[in-house]
Amino acid sequence: MTEIWRNWSGLQTASPAVAFTPVEETGIVAAVREAAARGLPLRVVGSGHSFTPLCVTGGAQLTLAGHAGLIAVEGEQATVKSGTTIRSLGPLLRQRGLGLANQGDIDAQAIAGAVGTGTHGTGKGLGNFSSMVRGLRLVTADGSVIDCDGEHEPEIFAAARCSIGAIGIFSTLTLACVPAYSLREGLTVRSLDSALSGFAEEAAGHRHAEFFWFPLSDKAVVKTLDPTDAAPSRGRRFRGVKELVLENGALWTMAQLARVLPPLTGPLARFSAVLGGGGGFVDHSERLFPSNRLVRFNEMEYAVPAEQGLDCIAEIRAWFRQTGTRVYFPVEFRYVAGDDVWLSPFSGRDSATIAVHRLAGEDFTAYFAAMEAIFANHRGRPHWGKLHTLKAAQLAALYPDWERFQAVRRRLDPKGLFLNDYLRGLFEPQA
């Protein structure tokens, strides 16, 4: 038995019978063969930042933190080992004059983990990590290694790019990049009504736009990022302090205070929304996209058709008003471009994503269930790494290419080596 494994929020734990930590592709192949020979199901872990039990196993767990680094750059495409984190990739790309077209709120994820769940940032016209993949090398359940891209094994490629470790194990990933760039951040605090009425235009006018709505104050912090030729700002420390105050230390303190003293919740939420104002900071894209998240939480996020996103927020506001539920954590709203990846939540449709959070350790079930009912009315698709309750039959109805994915999965992993109980519920109708 190995040490107990925990995900980032602490909600998921596992006690794998055996842990593999290969640093080369040959080690991945050997681990897969050994697990299969011993009859142990195998789950591959990135950085453990998913909220769902994707990586939980009592069998074999495979971690690729040691299988990291940039292998090659050709034009604007970079081939990386799958355990490379987004954070360590940033400087490696910049040294070669490249960057990623988009990133999410944090950069601790392994590239493979981000690709495997369809992780995304915000920006109309900008796709998620899965859609940035131009080619990949996959170790499958029988220990074979398959190279695939849009022309070679295109079905495997379309399935694997967002496959939560159910098709095989990425050994390397080739990513489309863009010339290195800097971004300028804009932050404004508005009433939710004002944020909602202007947001569609705002999102069209900025490369990246999102808002964080604090339901208790009815205020929203609108955040934009746009490319700039300006030099990186001085005063990084000030931004660091502000970030720490807004998103971490104070957020944690306020969340605790609000829990103990519910009447304080409204004023605290108003205070933190005001702290969010300001902006104008310039930095290299890979440094400005992520922020530190020291406060642990659990999260649900759904992607709904882009044109229904703001209506969905209005429904969530009506629910808060009707029920009087008091939630301190903000609701995050972003846009993501549609893609052609079979199980990407953005497959075939431009989308808006809406994320709701609760402090780690707090009971999220009633709040998340109410939100999930609203998302379901909009044919929402859940983020694969974030909490939801959907099973195979419901998921099949949401994805036009579901059966094609399943055919590839069954062909490459006929004995279900890469399934745990949770994935069985996602992929096997009667589980």
Ligand X SMILES: Cc1cc2nc3c(=O)[nH]c(=O)nc-3n(C[C@H](O)[C@H](O)[C@H](O)COP(=O)(O)OP(=O)(O)OC[C@H]3O[C@@H](n4cnc5c(N)ncnc54)[C@H](O)[C@@H]3O)c2cc1C
Closer by beta carbon to ligand X, 170 or else 212: 170
| Position 249 contacts ligand X (CB under 6 A) | no
How buried is 345 (Cβ within 10 angstroms: 0-12 exposed, 13-18 middle, 19+ buried)? buried
> What does the angle CA 370 – CA 373 – CA 374 come to, to the nearest 5 degrees?
95
| Position 78 contacts ligand X (CB under 6 A) | no
Q: How far apart are the first and last CA of the chain?
A: 27
DSSP secondary-structure letter at 1?
-
| Position 54 contacts ligand X (CB under 6 A) | yes
DSSP per-residue letters across 258-277: HHH-GGGHHHHHHHHHHHT-
- Of these, 29, 133, 156, 169, which contacts ligand X (CB under 6 A)? 169
| Position 164 contacts ligand X (CB under 6 A) | yes
- Of these, 73, 93, 102, 120, which contacts ligand X (CB under 6 A)? 120
Could you tell me the CA-to-CA distances from 143 to 16, 31, 111, 154, 413 in Å, in that order? 20, 9, 22, 20, 11
Candidates 314, 333, 330; CA nearest to 377 is 314
| Position 47 contacts ligand X (CB under 6 A) | yes
Stretch that binds ligand X, among 164-172, 176-184, 318-326, 390-398 (CB under 6 A): 164-172
| Position 12 contacts ligand X (CB under 6 A) | no
Q: How far apart are CA 335 and CA 221, in angstroms?
A: 16
| Position 157 contacts ligand X (CB under 6 A) | no
- Of these, 110, 132, 156, 222, which contacts ligand X (CB under 6 A)? 110
Smallest gap from residue 234 Cβ to ligand X (A): 27
| Position 68 contacts ligand X (CB under 6 A) | no
Q: How far apart are CA 319 and CA 332, in angstroms?
A: 16
3-class secondary-structure state, position 25 = helix
- Of these, 22, 90, 99, 113, which contacts ligand X (CB under 6 A)? 113
| Position 344 contacts ligand X (CB under 6 A) | no
Closer by beta carbon to ligand X, 265 or else 351: 351
Given CA atoms 377, 380, 386, 389 in this order, what sign does their dihedral have?
positive
Closer by beta carbon to ligand X, 43 or else 381: 43
Closer by beta carbon to ligand X, 129 or else 367: 129
| Position 357 contacts ligand X (CB under 6 A) | no
Could you tell me the CA-to-CA distances from 167 to 42, 173, 416 in Å, in that order? 12, 15, 10
Closer by beta carbon to ligand X, 120 or else 124: 120
Closer by beta carbon to ligand X, 99 or else 218: 99
Alpha helices in 150-264 (DSSP H): 154-160, 192-205, 236-243, 249-260
3-class secondary-structure state, position 305 = strand
- Of these, 46, 330, 338, 382, which contacts ligand X (CB under 6 A)? 46
| Position 265 contacts ligand X (CB under 6 A) | no
Could you tell me the CA-to-CA distances from 389 to 346, 369, 394 in Å, in that order? 19, 8, 10
Smallest gap from residue 372 Cβ to ligand X (A): 17
Q: How many residues bind ligand X (CB under 6 A)?
A: 32
Closer by beta carbon to ligand X, 47 or else 265: 47
| Position 109 contacts ligand X (CB under 6 A) | yes
Which residue reads 């790309």 in tokens?
93
Are the C-beta atoms of 298 and 364 separated by less than 8 Å?
yes
Candidates 135, 80, 139, 84; CA nearest to 109 is 84
3-class secondary-structure state, position 153 = coil
Stretch that binds ligand X, among 116-124, 140-148, 181-189, 305-313 (CB under 6 A): 116-124
Smallest gap from residue 288 Cβ to ligand X (A): 14
Q: What is the CA radius of gyration of the chain?
A: 21
Smallest gap from residue 173 Cβ to ligand X (A): 8
Smallest gap from residue 324 Cβ to ligand X (A): 28
- Of these, 35, 106, 246, 395, which contacts ligand X (CB under 6 A)? 106
Smallest gap from residue 183 Cβ to ligand X (A): 15
Smallest gap from residue 42 Cβ to ligand X (A): 10
Closer by beta carbon to ligand X, 293 or else 404: 293
Are the C-beta atoms of 364 and 276 separated by less than 8 Å?
no
Positions touching ligand X (CB under 6 A) are 8, 43-50, 54-55, 64, 82, 104-106, 109-110, 112-114, 116-117, 119-120, 164-165, 169-170, 293, 383, 385
